[in-house]
Structure 1
Amino acid sequence: MKIGIFGTGNIGGTLARKLAAAGHDVRITNSKPSEKLNAFAADIGATPVDAQGVVDGADMIILSIPFPAVAELPQDLFANLPANVPVVDTGNYYPGMRDPHIAAIDDGLPESVWVSNQIGRRVIKAFNNILAATLADGGRPVGTPDRIAAAVAGDDEAQKRIVMGIVDEVGFDPVDSGSLDESWRQQPSTPVYCCDWNVEETRKALGQAVKGKAAATRGKLPEQFAALGPNPKHADVIASNRENNAPA
């Protein structure tokens, strides 16, 4: 597949590395293309391009950039992208930590619905409910006991199947989490968020999510992260999420 990726940070960069290693034609860009981008592309076997180069001829697009950067994408960037090409949103909204407040999301609009509105087409939500460290090192072959699961939400069933295949390919069990309007179930501070659950645990956690609760409690994320110290161990982050995101 020809896969275009916006963003080379913890999630986007890791996906680019894994997908290029799997033999996909990976094209990458970030907000400020530079020699650093070129060097990273050369290291992983990807092609550095501009924003239009990511989109042109792509079989899949991955958006792995902060929400303010999504809002700055050219409005007509996806105008000629065929309707059957999935656009995957891996992002999460972190107001007060990284992102400015976005009124529509604060009022309850699911994060990926907001992203869809910005780019003019519905996206598939995936890779947002696992930590970057989990994505990098937690993948396992199909059938491995307690293989970690990743939630995938979206409205187009064919697109969703394509994305779920990529989730499986990079080492995780894909779990269909419903429509894009239901993707609030996998946003930060929900029971499924960054807890390294297996398939059955993930399905249970998705069902335990309470609409509006995560939005009311995500303000505690800075305090939660601060309590872990400057360089927390992966296991400690998972344990903290399982405790803090558990249903009441």
Structure 2
Amino acid sequence: MKTSSCMFGLNTYLGGILFLACSPLWACLDQPSLQALADKEMQYLLQRIPPAFADAVSDQLIQGHMTAKASDTCQVRWQLTLPERDIAEARALLQAEPAKQIMLAAQGYQIPEQTNVEAEFTVDQATLQPLHPEVLQTAPLGKLRASVELMYAMLTQARTNSRQEAQLPWAQAELESVQTSCQQQFRADDSKKACACYSQGLAEKYSARQVKYNRYLLTNPYAFATGNGGEFKQLDKALQASCGLSSSSGLISN
């Protein structure tokens, strides 16, 4: 990104025609750098935040946009557009637990109040990293990250047993993916048949996304401690036994 600084010279006015001599002024971050910074921030969020966030991104319900706050500084504005439905659902979940809401608020956590959230911060031009530590709950970017993480942690937990979520149909590719990973994880006399039995059993109770959410909870001690994921764990073990699968682990990877 660049702007132009135009200055009049002594020789600029010739024959009634005005000439402007312009010299470029380069911004700290050009457009490719801003896009790279936006991509990096989105990847950070995808790696850190529970899987309901990644599904909203995949559904194109979340968009991120990075802009330069001023042309001659390394200050940027990160804007994230969130689904109104997700905000309303998360806020309702939190309001249903007043004690939890008070505790989290005291720690600086809160659910976003509007669909557009943003944070301004200064960037190290060489590394494309925030120049100052972005502490969760306090610095603008850290506070944005923490609020979105809290929101989608709650949604991931709540949707593990949601009836509405369970009605989402499985794609053939999703079934095949579960069967393939099942064959890699478990042992059976006829692994193909046993894993078809296992995946079908899961599909009768949960959507593919719910299977992903429940597996996330089972690998996250804090999330599992909320009480979600227990029913899935029981079904997982029951299907292993009834379908003739044996393994040292009750989980299979996606």
TM-score (normalised: structure 2): 0.22
